[in-house]
Amino acid sequence: MSEAAKLDNRNRTPRPAHVPTELVREIDMYALDGIEEGYHEAWKALQTPEMPELVWTPFTGGHWIATRGFMVKEIYEDPSRFSSEVIFLPKEAGEKYLMVPTRMDPPEHTPYRKILDFGLNPAQIRKVEEAVREAAIELIEPIAKRGHCDFAAEYAMIFPVRVFMAMAGLPMSDVPMLAKFAEDMTRPAGNTPEEMAATLDAANQGFFAYVDPIIRARTGGSGTDLITIMVNGKVDGQPLAHDKALGMISLLLLGGLDTVVNFLSFFMIYLARHPEKVAEIRGDELKLRRGVEELFRRFPVVSEARMVAKDMTYRGVELQRGDMILLPTVLHGLDDAENDHPLDVDWERKNVNHATFGGGPHRCVGLHLARLEATVTLQEWIRHIPEFSLAPGAQPVYNSGIIASVQNVPLIWPTA
């Protein structure tokens, strides 16, 4: 079947009575129009002045989309009106998603979050900086001599995964299986909400089956790996229940395996196309370090949702309990109302506004690790390969979903 015919056959959910026709837009979060030109550009193209702040799409089970930065932020920060009871779309799939504590609202969420913070706080992350740098150099050195590589396959998909697996005390040989589970959870295959739910459910159960014996073996242990630290954490003074540990350790693997991987490739494509931006930070350590925040703003990868907690009128729109609202984080950092010339990377931008790590009680707990990995990559890549560009005719392949992905990033550079 041709691509166009497949798209025409997409499953559309009938518009509920409370959704006005003028707010309906056909936006498919898993197959964005114009994605061939870039994931961020495809989302940004929707943010026209004519686009209502809140629109409803019949795709992916039927859901709302917040199209303005202020709204993405406001919804993230207000769990009393916008609950994390379900956060993945389609909702049928989100109900199969059993990760802990992402589906909890405060106050239930708070003690679990403390355990996560304990394992991934800035002081813990500083301890691994040297090992993170060694992992980057070990990968870049042999590539640098060659004059070319597929950045996605040979660096981005390996480096953060190696770092994370070492921190978690897990063997690299398990990565292909875990990466497939992560892919099936964040970009689940299927033509209907039910099919997508089945794909996600199988992947979720796959994670649980994998972590179950590891949790049992490390409970009560004295190791210093992330999993041992977390499974021995306390919830209101009580040991972490096994079912909650399954959800929490699986979530950690999901967070550690699929996000940084794609973020690194997205920003590297941009830098390869903009040598003048690389020249600006080459030799300016302070600008480079500060600039990492600007990269997080410019290249968000996550689009999760919130569930409307009660019937209400929100910014003039009638919402019903159970409605889902997608929060594309890209529409915050790239909103002109939040940042001038948002598609430019401006290393000296003041007030870098973004929701790349979400906001409110669930704001990404892995952000210190993500920041370290991005900083070290930028430092070591530019030190070893000061000038690089995309190979002629390069066609990166973009995919949208809960976490956006990109493959095929061929880079070239002069060698001595």
Using rule CB under 6 A, residue 244 touches ligand HEM: no
From 125, 249, 251, 292, residue interacting with ligand HEM (rule: CB under 6 A): 251
Give the dihedral sign, CA 410/411/412/416: negative
Which two tokens mark 405? 């992905």
Q: CA distances (Å), 404 to each of 54, 102, 215, 264, 379, in order?
A: 22, 19, 30, 12, 24
Which two tokens mark 364? 């990404």
Nearer to ligand HEM, 256 or 396 (CB): 256
From 252, 268, 319, 409, residue interacting with ligand HEM (rule: CB under 6 A): 252
| Cα separation, 134 vs 138, whole angstroms | 6
Tokens 């390069």 correspond to 394
Using rule CB under 6 A, residue 159 touches ligand HEM: no
Shortest distance (Å) from residue 17 CB to ligand HEM: 29
SS3 content of the chain, % helix, strand, coil (to 5): 50, 10, 40
Q: CA distances (Å), 103 to each of 108, 361, 411, in order?
A: 10, 11, 39
From 270, 357, 381, 398, residue interacting with ligand HEM (rule: CB under 6 A): 357
Using rule CB under 6 A, residue 342 touches ligand HEM: no
Q: What does the radius of gyration of the chain's CA atoms come to, in whole angstroms?
A: 21
Which two tokens mark 290? 């500060």
Q: Which of residues 378-397 bind ligand HEM (CB under 6 A)?
A: none
Using rule CB under 6 A, residue 405 touches ligand HEM: no
Binding mask of the shown chain, residues 43 to 82, with x at each position contacting ligand HEM by CB under 6 A = ----------------------------------------
Using rule CB under 6 A, residue 230 touches ligand HEM: no
Stretch that binds ligand HEM, among 65-73, 121-129, 180-188, 247-255 (CB under 6 A): 247-255
Phi, psi torsion values for 405, nearest 5 degrees: -130, 160
Nearer to ligand HEM, 52 or 361 (CB): 361
Nearer to ligand HEM, 47 or 84 (CB): 84
Nearer to ligand HEM, 186 or 356 (CB): 356
Stretch that binds ligand HEM, among 189-197, 206-214, 229-237, 301-309 (CB under 6 A): 301-309
Q: Which of residues 92-111 bind ligand HEM (CB under 6 A)?
A: 101-102
CB–CB of 397/406 below 8 Å? yes
Q: Which amino acid is at 218?
A: R
From 15, 81, 113, 383, residue interacting with ligand HEM (rule: CB under 6 A): 113
Using rule CB under 6 A, residue 250 touches ligand HEM: no
Nearer to ligand HEM, 96 or 412 (CB): 96
Rounding to the nearest 10 degrees, give the CA dihedral for residues 234, 206, 396, 57: -80
CB–CB of 153/396 below 8 Å? no
Return the half-sphere exposure (C-beta side, CA atoms, 13 A cut-off) of residue 133.
9
Q: Which of residues 118-157 bind ligand HEM (CB under 6 A)?
A: 120
SS3 299: coil
Using rule CB under 6 A, residue 247 touches ligand HEM: no
Give the closest residue to 274 by CA, choosing from 259, 291, 261: 291
CB closest to ligand HEM, residue no: 366
CB–CB of 374/296 below 8 Å? yes
Contact residues for ligand HEM, defined by CB under 6 A? 84, 87, 101-102, 113, 116, 120, 251-252, 255-256, 259-260, 263, 301-302, 304, 329, 356-358, 362, 364-366, 369-370
